[in-house]
Amino acid sequence: MGIVHRLYHGETAFPLIARRRRFYAVSIALCVIALGSLIFRGFNLGVEFKGGAIFTVSAPSSVDLHDTRTFVESLGVNEPIVQTVKTSTGQTKVRIESAPLTQAEEQKVVEGLASHFKVDANSIDSRDVGASWGKQVTRKALQGLVAFLIAVILFISVRFEPKMAAAAIIALVHDLLLAAGIYSITQFVVTPSTIIALLTVLGYSLYDTIVVFDRVDENTKGIERGNKSTYSEAAELAVNQTFMRSFNTSLIALLPVSGLLFVGALLLKAGTLKDLALALFVGLGAGAYSSLFLATPLLADLKEREPRFVALQGRVAQRRSGAAAPVRLSQRSTNAAEGEAVESAPVATATATAVRRTGAPPAKRKPKGSRPTGKKRKR
Amino acid sequence: MARPGPSSRGQLHVWRYLGALLVLFVALYTTVAFAGQGSAWLKPKLGLDLQGGAQVILTPKTESGKTASSAQLSTAVDILRQRVNGAGVSEAEVFVEGEQIVVQVPGGNRDSIKAATKTAQLQMRRLVESAPVVPTTPPTTAPSATPSAAVSTPTASATPKKRPVTAGLVQAGTPTPTSTPSATPSPSEAPADAGPLVRSGDVYSPQAFALLDCSDPKARLGGAPDAPNQEIVACDRFGTEKYHLAVAKVVGKDVKGANVGTDSLGTQIKVVVSFKGKGQDKFTNLTKEAFGATPPTNRVAIVLDGVVYSAPTIQNVINGDAEITGGFSQKEAEQLANVLKFGALPLNFESGDAEVISASLGDDQLRSGLIAGGIGLAAVVVYSLLYYRMLGFITISSLLVSGGLTYAMVCVLGKQIGFALSLAGIAGFIVAVGITADSFVVYFERLKDEIKEGRTPRSAVDVAWKRAIRTILNADAVSLLAAVLLYFFSVGGVRGFAFTLGLSTILDLVVVTLFTRPLISLLSRQRWFSRTGPTGFYGPDGGQPNTGATRPSLTTPQEA
């Protein structure tokens, strides 16, 4: 039975928590690369952040902005902002904003513009422009961010529990780091749109994590009173139960964004669209990945240290050494048949297979066999 | 804890939900239709990057002729940004260009941007004489000419007897524009309407004082030179009283800061002005001179841009802050505080001509953005149909409903609070597709789970909803938290983003409760809903879902 079929039927049983160290290693490696690039390469900041040069030329009343932009780019200016300005006296001017230029480059642009618009080079006004994204905007945004993080930690702590808040915030930092890192690595221009995109990532990352944690919370309620499965197993089951949901949601969110990225980067080659779409694409992808592969394993690691869950591990191990895996499997199939048993133990509900990450090796390969064979003929 | 069924009769009142949604739809689109004029009624307001706007260039000049420091310029930029981007969602831009400040407002016309960048200097002047203005229109109520505001230390008791007067003043203030200024000279002003218009803030002369017709809104526009070292004639801002004022003793540069607050009773909005060291001395001296002087010279007028905001009687020597009251709305008070802060800068701004600017992004960007979004959405449609089969149509129609609501909201908000859509905003809404879709993905997956566990599709619809809405609420709460906090803390583009996020989250909840859920409930009554073929639901044995006849025990909702 192929992976697609299993995905479609919601029968995934990925040992996400059992293999958590692998995912940690991947995440750490990626974060280190991102961080390294941020430190050593830094950002390619747009004119909105660091200012630049601005040229004003008198122009005939109708100007083809697209042509002008292409022309200015051919002079070696990266991502210029080209606008027309109509004064109250009816004059038309073209305003070109670019990243900071050296004197020679500036001279080249002025001469190019003079010949393009057939005006005297002396009539072209060139001056410095300050950052339009003021320091206050950044400061206030950071204040908002800090307030939000505190509030979200409180919210998750109260609504769920503090350890979930910790895991969610680590996943969030991971996502933001990767999204920011990709800008540093590709040296795409960072514009205000990029910042907005990063904030979108922040919202999405937490949103996605909460959806998974909501299921973990549901699955682990009252679990320490039983001896059926450990916290990690219950959490792993939750991840698998929400796997298709996460996959579908992320795909549905990523499809339009990859459209933006594709059109922006490949067809237009430049501009806000590309800048925006890259942050969104990487961020949303990382957000989906981290809520399943990072946040939940982290949470399980944190929780397994609690005495009550350590005790639970002991009881589960004891029970399993007494009754071997096959017994548990047969018990599971009875569960499915008896509706009432299903309800009393949500942990055992879905198709499958929290059994995997137990100490008992015999259980490891079982889930496949445990699947009802009747399905084959159906599809 | 056992929960009761969705309704006592076991059936959801589907039509109530759908009806509520319809009402919402009609209400929104009617608002849009009435708010706009002509054919433009269904056009959202676009940001500077997509549609361009108007710009004004301000050239700062210090009194000593020095160039303004960058710190001063950036303070000016911050204040101007607050002024032109009041609610924070209009995507207006303010930045330094060379030694000038450029203010850009999306779609704005030239007049509105001029008004928005107006600078005003605060002056405090003692009254020399005052006269009530007799309205030229048929009097409705006898206009009370007494000023309303009180200057006092924040701790000093407010003067309660003045409160009713304030109410009267607000009343009198609103209808003034109806007066027809030109034709009938007001009876009290003997000289006929000869000569140039005397404006509030013009230099004092006995003729000017006699000629000043405060019931004429044109006279109260402000902008007269109001030189601080000369006596002037002035009107109050509602045109109910006119004044002859002494030279200014306190000016804008003496002000340190200005904040909006409410008085001790919490009923009246006030602007609290604090002074710099020397300014404080000047203000204290002014109150010392005025305190106990013969009326009306015991009153001090607070003049902005040649117009008197309030002219309270001084009831004490004041060593602290000044308070300006005068029946302000919260917005007016904020504007005034901003104007005062701006006036406190040691700079004069010479404002250039208003110009019209084109979009900063090519229209190719908007077009390809929309095309890209379209392609992406088409992919979403194909995927939903493949994965969810018939249920995919629910996804698609929910997205359509959500899109329809969002579009109407953007149009309405564009008209109401100047909400402008930038390219980033459009991308934000495209991402919101994912968040909206997630709500029913969560629901559908839950539904599949419940059916696989042996529920009949019909009973699973309600159980899955209860579980799903819990998840959706938790996740949306976090999004809303982000939106609200970022909105209140941030300025500029970040604020616009927060607004977009909050809006799409709320719309998500609206769509999923008022549309998706009732629709599924409705469809679950169809026979095909219980078959694997159209729905992709599988029963516990991997075959057809349970029909309910064989498993009655499962039709009651499960415990949470």
What was the pLDDT predicted at A172? 92
User: With pLDDT > 90 as the criterion, what percentage of chain A qualifies?
Assistant: 12
Cβ within 8 Å, pair A85-B358: yes
Half-sphere exposure of B81 (CA within 13 A, CB side): 24
Distances (CA, A) of B237 to A331, B56, B161, B491, B516: 84, 26, 22, 30, 53
Domains present along chain B, CATH in parentheses: 14-46+361-555 (1.20.1640.10), 53-117 (3.30.70.3220), 122-326 (no CATH)
What was the pLDDT predicted at B164? 32
- Residue B48: band (very low, low, confident or very high) from pLDDT cuts 50, 70, 90: confident
Q: Return the residue of B nearest to A207 by Cα.
A: B475
- Residue B35: band (very low, low, confident or very high) from pLDDT cuts 50, 70, 90: low
- Residue B136: band (very low, low, confident or very high) from pLDDT cuts 50, 70, 90: low
Q: Which of A93-97, B30-34, B85-89 has the lowest mean pLDDT?
A: B85-89
Cβ within 8 Å, pair B482-A203: yes
Mean pLDDT of A349-378: 40
What was the pLDDT predicted at B112? 67
Q: Which residues are paired to B323 by β-bridges?
A: B272
Cβ within 8 Å, pair A218-B467: yes
Nearest C-alpha of chain B: how many angstroms from A313?
25
Among A86, A196, A198, pick the best mutation site for testing chain B contact (most B Cβ within 10 A).
Answer: A196
Chains A and B form CB pairs within 8 A to the count of 315
Q: Which residues of B are less than 8 Å from A144 in CB distance? A: 485-490, 494, 498
- Residue A330: band (very low, low, confident or very high) from pLDDT cuts 50, 70, 90: very low
pLDDT > 70? residue A96:
yes
In this structure, what token pair is assigned to residue B287? 């109150």
Mean pLDDT of A110-137: 81
Q: Which residues of B are less than 8 Å from A97 in CB distance? A: 360
pTM of the model: 0.67
Cβ within 8 Å, pair A88-B354: yes
What was the pLDDT predicted at A253? 81
Average pLDDT, chain A: 77
What was the pLDDT predicted at B120? 62
Q: Which residues are paired to A85 by β-bridges?
A: A93, B357
Burial of A82 (0-12, 13-18, 19+ CB in 10 A): buried
Q: Which residues of B are less than 8 Å from A88 in CB distance? A: 110, 353-355
Distance of alpha carbon B553 from alpha carbon B560, whole angstroms:
17
pLDDT > 80? residue B351:
no
Select from A8, A143, A207 the Cβ nearest to the Cβ of B489. A143
Which distant-in-sequence residues (6+ apart) come within 8 Å of A174 by Cβ?
A27, A31, A286, A290, A294
- Residue B169: band (very low, low, confident or very high) from pLDDT cuts 50, 70, 90: very low
Q: Which of A105-114, A151-160, B493-502, B551-560 has the lowest mean pLDDT?
A: B551-560
ipTM of the complex: 0.71
pLDDT > 80? residue B19:
yes
Q: Which residue has the higher pLDDT, A292 or B84?
A: A292
Q: Which residue has the higher pLDDT, B477 or B536?
A: B477
What was the pLDDT predicted at A269? 60
pLDDT > 70? residue B139:
no
Cβ within 8 Å, pair A140-B358: no
Among A241, A252, A268, A281, pick the best mutation site for testing chain B contact (most B Cβ within 10 A).
Answer: A252
What was the pLDDT predicted at A358? 39
Cβ within 8 Å, pair A256-B454: no
- Residue A171: band (very low, low, confident or very high) from pLDDT cuts 50, 70, 90: very high
- Residue A47: band (very low, low, confident or very high) from pLDDT cuts 50, 70, 90: confident
Q: Which residues of B are less than 8 Å from A131 in CB distance? A: 95-96
Distance of alpha carbon B47 from alpha carbon B490, whole angstroms:
18
List the beta strands (DSSP E) in B215-285.
232-236, 241-251, 255-262, 269-275
Cβ within 8 Å, pair B430-A141: no
Q: What is the CATH number of domain A3-44+134-308?
A: 1.20.1640.10
pLDDT in tens, B145-155: 444 444 433 33
pLDDT in tens, A53-86: 888 888 776 778 888 888 888 888 877 888 888 8
Q: Which residue has the higher pLDDT, B520 or B152?
A: B520
Topology agreement, domain A3-44+134-308 and domain A52-129? no
Q: Which residues of A are less than 8 Å from B512 in CB distance? A: none
pLDDT in tens, B368-389: 777 877 887 788 888 888 888 8
Cis peptide before B457 (omega within 30 of 0): no
First vs last C-alpha separation in chain B: 7
The answer to whether A223 touches A234, Cβ cutoff 8 Å, is yes
Per CATH, domain A52-129 is 3.40.50.720: no
What was the pLDDT predicted at B165? 30
pLDDT in tens, B185-238: 344 444 444 456 777 778 888 888 888 888 877 777 665 566 778 888 888 877
pLDDT > 60? residue A309:
yes
pLDDT > 70? residue A211:
yes
Distance of alpha carbon B12 from alpha carbon B485, whole angstroms:
36
In this structure, what token pair is assigned to residue B232? 């002037």
Alpha helices, DSSP H, located in chain A:
3-8, 20-40, 47-50, 65-74, 103-117, 135-159, 162-186, 192-219, 231-241, 243-261, 272-290, 296-304, 307-322, 325-337, 339-344, 366-370, 374-378
DSSP, collapsed to helix, strand or coil, labels residue B442 as helix
Domain ranges of chain A: 3-44+134-308, 52-129
Nearest C-alpha of chain A: how many angstroms from B385?
12
Cβ within 8 Å, pair B497-A196: yes
